[in-house]
Amino acid sequence: MLATIFTSVIGGLLLAGILAALKTHWLYLIVPKPYLATPLSSGQVISLDITNAGFLTEEAIKIRFNPACRCELVATSRSAVTLSNNTISVPRLARFESATILVLVEGRPFETTDIETVEAESGRGRIVAKKEKAVPLWQYFVVPPLFFAIMGLCFAFGTVLGRDLGYSAFDYLTLRLESFGPSKQLAGFKIEEKQPYSSIAGALSNVIRDGKIGLRIDEIVRRGDNLDIEFTVSNNTSQTLILEASVTSSAADAGPLDFWEKRVKETFIAAGAKKSRHIRAYLPESSVPKMVFLTYRLKLVDDSTTVEQVITF
């Protein structure tokens, strides 16, 4: 009960802080050093960046200089910017907009304190020396909670999905890290091949008996509950061969492997050539019996067939 009340209070305060930060005006005037000298005058050229870092539009922005300075507008990134009576006027800045202004200052050596005020209809702005300091507090209130909220939703979605699939997010992470963990090369397994579907007189009829296609298991390595299977297919026909492959196991659970880890996409093998491919199967050490069913789908221009390998451990 107390935990629920505490969570509700903290959540309410956090939400109120985020809403307040989003409604606050964040107007910055960036005045970097050094100031620029010009051969056209004894004065200095200063660069000003007026930035609206908030979510609300800033209207009627005024930048007022010390009356002891004589100011002249040299250049600006926005045509609507004007200078009159030592006051720079920027009519409007939408959220996250900025304007760069170059001003010639004469009459005295310029100091940042010669900018008396920066203000808009909503209130005063802040003067900073570097762009890195023009960071509104809303970013600290909004970005981290938003980041953790999104990550939490992703984690929750992954947990729900994992529950339906029979494994957790931690199991999935463990799976991805298995490649860096301990492994064991398996030996002594038995392979039985059969060709259940074949044309009677096609180019791929009796591929096992006649050796038209060579299917070789090169290596099987156990990493945790998964088997990494390396195999090589040799095309001994006179045509280009198209290979697809998939694997299943005798494990009761489907396991955390994704769809393409248990499959080999279409692979073209030229006549007389061979290619090696990798596939993964889910088969925990505790499974009884331990069997893997590897299915090869082989296609030529004028024929196709399926070969199955049953690997027993």
The reply to whether 171 and 192 lie within a common domain is: no
pLDDT of residue 142: 57
- Rounded CA-CA distance 308/295 in Å is 5
User: What is the pTM for the complete model shown?
Assistant: 0.46
- Report yes or no on 2 lying in a domain: no
Does residue 101 fall inside a structural domain? yes
142-163: average pLDDT: 61
Structure confidence at residue 207 as a pLDDT band (50, 70, 90)? confident
In a domain, residue 4? The reply is: no
**235 shares a domain with 149:** no
Same domain, 35 and 98: yes
Domain assignment present for 3: no
Maximum distance among all alpha carbons in the chain? 103
Residue type (1 letter), 28: Y
User: Is 82 in the same domain as 162?
Assistant: no
Triad 216, 221, 227: Cα angle to 5° = 90
Confidence of residue 41 (pLDDT cuts 50, 70, 90): confident
Beta strand pairing call for 126-128 and 27-30: parallel
List the structure tokens of 19.
Answer: 């809403």
Q: Does residue 20 or residue 247 have the better pLDDT?
A: 247
170 and 197 part of one domain: no
Q: What residues contact residue 253 under an 8 Å CB cut-off, 6+ apart?
A: 166, 282, 284
- DSSP H or E run through 208: helix 207-210
Per-residue pLDDT at 66: 93
Confidence at residue 144, expressed as pLDDT on a 0 to 100 scale = 62
Cα–Cα dist 95/75, whole Å: 23
The total of structural domains in the chain comes to: 3
pLDDT of residue 14 exceeding 80, the answer is no
Give the residue-averaged pLDDT of 77-86.
92
pLDDT of residue 117: 93
CATH of the domain at 91: 2.60.40.290
Mean residue pLDDT of the chain comes to 82
d(CA 49, CA 34): 14
Could you tell me if 251 and 211 lie in one domain?
Answer: yes
Instruction: Give the per-residue pLDDT at 11.
Output: 57
Taking the CA atoms of the chain, what radius of gyration do you get in angstroms?
36
Do the domain assignments include residue 263? yes
pLDDT computed for residue 40 by the predictor: 82
Final residue belonging to a domain, choices 80, 108, 138: 138
Amino acid 5: pLDDT:
58
**281 pLDDT higher than 70:** yes
In degrees, rounded to 5, the angle at the alpha carbon of residue 203 between the alpha carbons of residues 214 and 296 is: 45
Task: Give the percent of the chain with pLDDT over 90.
Answer: 47
Question: Higher-confidence residue: 12 or 196?
Answer: 196
**Claim to verify: residue 194 and residue 297 sit in the same structural domain:** yes
Tens digit of each residue's pLDDT (9 = 90 or more) over 217-237: 999 999 888 999 999 999 999
Judgement on whether residues 219 and 297 belong to the same structural domain of the protein = yes
What does the pLDDT look like over 95-138, one tens digit per residue? 889 999 999 999 888 999 999 999 998 889 999 988 888 776 55
- Residue 181 class from Cβ within 10 Å (0-12 exposed, 13-18 middle, 19+ buried)? exposed
**Whether residues 246 and 127 fall in one domain:** no
The order of strands in the sheet holding 58-65 is 82-84, 87-93, 58-65, 115-120, 123-124
Clarify whether residues 96 and 158 are in a common domain: no
Is 296 a member of any domain? yes
- CATH of residue 188: 2.60.40.10
* Residues 92-102 pLDDT 10s: 999 889 999 99
Mean of the pLDDT values across residues 70-74?
A: 94
Same domain as 156, residue 211: no
What is the DSSP pairing of strand 241-249 with strand 291-299?
A: antiparallel
Lowest mean pLDDT among 28-42, 237-251, 272-286: 28-42
Structural domain boundaries, residue 26: 17-138
**160 or 212, greater pLDDT:** 212
Whether residues 195 and 306 fall in one domain: yes
- Give the model's pLDDT for residue 145: 61
| In a domain? residue 8 | no
Whether the Cβ atoms of residue 116 and residue 66 lie closer than 8 Å to each other? yes
User: What local confidence, expressed as pLDDT, does residue 37 receive?
Assistant: 85
- With respect to residue 198, please indicate whether it lies within any of the assigned structural domains: yes
